Structure 1
Amino acid sequence: MSSVPPGFELPLRLFMGFRVLIDALHAELARRGHPDLRPMHGFVMQAVGRQGTTAVELGRTLGVSKQAAGKTIDALERLGYLARTPDPSDSRRKLVTLTPRGVDALTLSARVFDDLRREWSDKLGEETLRSLESALRHLTPTAFPLDAPGWFGSL
């Protein structure tokens, strides 16, 4: 029997680690007043950012159609996380921006991720966690792509 795990286990373990962190994040967000947020909403709000964007630009960033981006904007607007306003540089376009509730959700998410990292450090040891993070930095691109919705196939 080989002590080397099968190759398919690595991506599954990486995904499971991602899933454990994201599920814990969303449980905490729900406890702290954001029960309607879903994992893909985080990608959307990150793509909107502090400066705002348009539906076309958002779709491009997320790797989805303008229509799919528009539906997600509609949903997050109904939930109070995004707002549409006239674009000051082009009155024909609408600028999608974060509302104070959206900014709160992103700020809270950052704090919760810091807490989750501390939990992992407590379980694994800081040196082991830093080694894992360093190895992943070495193996992955430096830019964080936000196109997971399109990569996974939908929002």
Structure 2
Amino acid sequence: MHGFVLQAIGSGATTATGLGRRMGTTKQAAAKSIEALERLGYAERGVDPADARRKVVRLTERGKDCLHRSALIFDDLRAGWEKAIGADRLRAMEDDLRKVVPADPMRIDAPGWFGGA
């Protein structure tokens, strides 16, 4: 679960409300995820420079490093898939998957997996 939250924060969900919307959860559930990531040193909260009433969450260097490492691991996995089935078949599979996966923001609730709200 933390990986999904890290990715959502890294892609711009900077408030508990925005994170909840992106993840398909409540603001309260998002706040609990943020608290967990703060305790682990992956995220930190601060005041929005444009609006002092607004609390923003951002990744720490440790959080950014975690995302970077996960991207490297995925690249290694993808290279293995390419070696196993070839570049053309892998590209075709990825194209097909893009056609059946909704282009909406990432959601981890069941309706989101099927393209619903």
Normalised-by-shorter TM-score class? 0.7 to 0.9
| Consecutive unaligned residues in structure 1, runs of 5 or more | 1-39
Cα 1:120–1:50 change in 2 (3 A) is closer
- Which residue number corresponds to residue 115 of structure 2? none
1:91-138 deviation line (CA, Å, top 9, x unaligned):
122110000001001111111111100011112222221221122223
What is the rounded CA distance, in whole Å, between the counterparts of 1:132 and 1:81 in structure 2? Answer: 33
Pick from 101, 110, 116 the counterpart of residue 151 of structure 1: 110
3-state DSSP of counterpart to 1:129: helix
1:34-77 deviation line (CA, Å, top 9, x unaligned):
xxxxxx22221122126561111111111101110011000010
- Which residue number corresponds to residue 94 of structure 1? 55
**Structure 1 outlier segments of 4+, above 4 Å:** none
User: Does 2:8 match 1:59?
Assistant: no
Letter in 2 for 1:145: P
What is the rounded CA distance, in whole Å, between the counterparts of 2:11 and 2:68 in structure 1? Answer: 11
What is the rounded CA distance, in whole Å, between the counterparts of 2:95 and 2:13 in structure 1? Answer: 32
Instruction: Please list, as runs of the form range in 1=range in 2, the aligned pairs for 1:2-151 lying within 5 A after superposition.
Output: 40-49=1-10, 53-141=14-102, 143=103, 145-148=105-108, 150-151=109-110
How many residues are matched?
112
Paired-residue identity, %? 54
1:4-56 deviation line (CA, Å, top 9, x unaligned):
xxxxxxxxxxxxxxxxxxxxxxxxxxxxxxxxxxxx22221122126561111
Task: Give the TM-score normalised by structure 1.
Answer: 0.64
What is the rounded CA distance, in whole Å, between the counterparts of 2:106 and 2:70 in structure 1? Answer: 16
